[in-house]
Amino acid sequence: MAKKKDEFVQEKEILLDHIQKAGLRRTDQRDLITEIFLRTEDHLTSEDLYRLVQKQDPSVGHTTVYRTLKLLTEAGLAREVRFGDNKTYYEHHYNHQHHDHMICTECGKVIEFFSADIEDLQDQMAAKFKFRPTHHSLRMWGVCAECEEQVLHASSAPSGAQPKVRVRSVTGNQ
């Protein structure tokens, strides 16, 4: 596994190029933030990323993390996504296939999916309205399989008339 050093070479070149065009300099902190972002295959808020970065270098400030995420987004390496909780999440964009999201409203889990059929239907709809789509984000909110299971367990003793509120306390205690 002598792979570590040349990890994300392309991504780093793209970012460096963008940083230089923006008239900024390359810094160790920005490099670290970028590394951690690229290594984390997840949807992260700047808060989340800040916490991960803090574990490795407590001297990095939240503003630096936030600004670096903005730079990553401008450079096309990150993409902003919103899941309806008023937060901005960031995910990898470069070399990543288009996908859409399902969001569990109980535990916050995000499931990524891709359906060629749905994509086709969207294109057909757009064509029908002579609309030229540039990008889209399809999001479905609901309850994931694990949480659905919790609902079943939680409601197996009584009749099951009060699922939602009970689920939160069950998940919260785990």
Site residues, Zn ion (CB under 5 A): 91, 100, 104, 106-107, 109, 112, 144, 147
Of the candidates 114, 106, 88, 110, the one whose C-alpha atom is nearest the C-alpha of residue 151 is 106
Q: Is the Cβ of residue 64 or residue 163 nearer to Zn ion in the bound state?
A: 163
Closest approach of Cβ 85 to Zn ion, in Å?
14
Question: What are the distances in angstroms from CA 25 to CA 15, 18, 32, 100, 133?
Answer: 11, 10, 14, 35, 36
| C-alpha to C-alpha distance for 9 and 15, rounded to whole angstroms | 10
> Nearest distance from residue 66's CB to Zn ion, in Å?
20
User: For Zn ion, which is the closer residue by CB, 22 or 126?
Assistant: 126
Shortest distance (Å) from residue 158 CB to Zn ion = 22
Name the residue nearer to Zn ion (CB basis): 33 or 147: 147
